[in-house]
């Protein structure tokens, strides 16, 4: 007799009026596990076989799933696995940083399909939004030229930028991007593109990317420490992204840390911006990242000194989020050059004792996730797909065991 396969999936519901939720449950189960048969899906999601069959037929008609070759196992009945169709949906993502913008297109599986980057005029959201709209149109045109069906399958435009949102910055604090915060950004981009627009902070965008195709894939409780120009924490709690009441959850970079008698926000001491400032680098171009990578490989004393202090603070940050959120793991993610990220990750050890040190752990407390200058843009693009297709109706979710 064939041993039943363990499948990661949430439960659907057989109550009437919940087909939208059940569609999302089916899609997520296939995304997490790869191709699955109707019998596998019914067993994993606790839906009736007829419900699963109806949903698969609808998803197939919508171009979101497709059948694979029939599988024959021993004496059992042959089965037909179903996979997600990469060309079933697409989305665009925009990262807005203080002096750069990156735009990327992804397919239904979160894989990159087109990209472009440009400089932004510092502190000028009016002209900056025009730059972004031109870049979006370029990426959109490149995507349609490569995959014509994408023109009719765009689910939306995701925006990611530094938070916190909705605050009144004092003066022209460059850390806060105050002029951008006051600008009607979502309305401007929605009107200019004709797409639904959503907004995340950059740390949440990184967590979105990690959840779709990274180390957080399939995990329900993860904190992603984001290391970029600033610092933040993307929160995956109970299998869903948590953004807080004002989309400001996880703004750990604003937490005050004490080191050597000085009390400063974490991101003023352990972010890439703090390193760029120490090195006197111009952050208006991507050359700063290339310079940091080269200096890290060379073992520049200024890099080593920054690493020592940043690791001390991040060690405290890991302890703090472990204590508050009780995650399965903490991931270090972001846009730092890979050699720098690897040295910083190693320097954080040994971790401080915390309630995460328990017997029987199967996942490391602290892991190095995706480090890529495009991680934020990719997470921003994954957000419209997540909103359209992930099972996020927590009122009717029942966790499968």
Q: What is the pLDDT of residue 2?
A: 45
Q: Which of these, 125, 116, 80, 76, lies nearest to 98 by C-alpha position?
A: 125
Secondary element (H or E) of residue 377 = helix 375-389
Q: Count CB atoms within 10 A of the CB of residue 86.
A: 16
**Which two structure tokens, joined as six digits, stand for 48?**
């009736």
Instruction: Return the CATH number of 89-206+379-389, one of 2.60.40.740, 3.30.420.40, 3.30.1540.10, 3.30.70.1050.
Output: 3.30.420.40
Q: Do domains 10-84 and 89-206+379-389 have the same CATH topology?
A: no
Q: What is the pLDDT of residue 394?
A: 45
Q: Which of these, 147, 130, 28, 143, lies nearest to 92 by C-alpha position?
A: 143
**Which two structure tokens, joined as six digits, stand for 147?**
């995959």
Q: What is the pLDDT of residue 17?
A: 47
Q: What is the pLDDT of residue 396?
A: 46
pTM: 0.85
CB 207 within 8 A of CB 151: no
Tell me the C-alpha to C-alpha distance, in Å, between residue 194 and each of 137, 139, 143, 156.
11, 15, 16, 9
CB 331 within 8 A of CB 224: yes
DSSP-H helix ranges across 47-124: 49-61
Which residues of the chain register pLDDT less than 70?
1-5, 8-17, 73-76, 168-176, 284-286, 392-401
Domain boundaries, the chain: 10-84, 89-206+379-389, 215-371
Q: Which of these, 302, 277, 376, 281, lies nearest to 336 by C-alpha position?
A: 376
Instruction: Please state which architecture CATH assigns to domain 10-84.
Output: Orthogonal Bundle (1.10)
Instruction: Return the CATH number of 215-371, one of 3.40.50.720, 3.30.420.40, 3.40.50.1950, 3.90.1010.10.
Output: 3.30.420.40
Query: What does DSSP assign to residue 88?
Result: G
Q: Which of these, 198, 185, 209, lies nearest to 120 by C-alpha position?
A: 185
Q: What is the pLDDT of residue 287?
A: 81
Q: Count CB atoms within 10 A of the CB of residue 5.
A: 11
pLDDT digits over 173-228, tens only? Answer: 555 677 888 899 999 999 999 999 999 999 999 999 998 888 998 899 999 999 98
In whole angstroms, give the CA distance from residue 43 to residue 60: 20
Q: What is the pLDDT of residue 295?
A: 96
pLDDT digits over 160-188, tens only? Answer: 998 878 776 555 555 567 788 889 999 99
Q: What is the pLDDT of residue 175?
A: 59
């Amino acid at each position: 007799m064939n041993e039943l396969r363990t499948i990661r999936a949430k439960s659907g519901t057989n109550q009437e009026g919940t087909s939208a939720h059940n569609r999302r449950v089916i899609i997520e189960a296939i995304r997490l596990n790869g191709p699955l048969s109707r019998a596998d899906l019914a067993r994993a999601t606790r839906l009736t076989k007829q419900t699963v069959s109806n949903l698969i037929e609808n998803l197939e008609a919508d171009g979101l799933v497709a059948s694979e070759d029939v599988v024959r196992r021993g004496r059992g009945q042959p089965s037909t696995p179903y996979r997600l169709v990469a060309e079933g949906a697409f989305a665009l993502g925009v990262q807005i940083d203080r002096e750069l913008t990156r735009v990327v297109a992804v397919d239904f599986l979160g894989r990159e399909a087109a990209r472009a980057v440009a400089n932004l005029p510092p502190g000028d959201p009016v002209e900056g939004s025009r730059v972004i709209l031109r870049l979006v149109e370029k990426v959109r045109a490149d995507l349609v030229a490569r995959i014509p069906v994408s023109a009719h399958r765009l689910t939306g435009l995701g925006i990611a930028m530094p938070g916190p949102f909705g605050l009144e910055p004092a003066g022209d604090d460059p850390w806060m991007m105050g002029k951008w915060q006051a600008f009607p950004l979502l309305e401007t981009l929605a009107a200019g593109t004709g797409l639904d627009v959503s907004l995340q902070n950059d740390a949440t965008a990184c967590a979105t990317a990690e959840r779709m195709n990274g180390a957080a894939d399939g995990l329900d409780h993860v904190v992603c420490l984001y290391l970029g120009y600033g610092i933040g924490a993307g929160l995956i709690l109970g299998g869903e992204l948590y953004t807080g009441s004002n989309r400001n959850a996880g703004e750990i970079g604003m937490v005050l840390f004490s080191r050597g008698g000085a009390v400063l926000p974490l991101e003023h001491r352990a972010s890439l911006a703090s390193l760029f400032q120490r090195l006197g680098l111009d952050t208006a171009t991507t050359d700063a990242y290339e310079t940091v990578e080269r200096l890290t490989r060379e073992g520049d004393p200024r890099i080593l000194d920054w690493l020592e202090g940043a690791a001390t603070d991040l060690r405290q940050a890991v302890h703090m989020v472990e204590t508050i959120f009780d995650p399965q793991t903490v991931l270090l993610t972001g846009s730092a050059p890979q050699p720098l990220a690897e040295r910083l990750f190693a320097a954080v050890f040994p971790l401080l004792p915390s309630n995460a040190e328990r017997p029987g752990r199967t996942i490391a407390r602290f892991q190095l996730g995706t480090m890529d200058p495009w991680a934020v843009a990719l997470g921003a693009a994954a957000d419209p797909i997540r909103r359209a297709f992930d099972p996020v109706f927590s009122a009717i979710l029942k966790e499968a065991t």
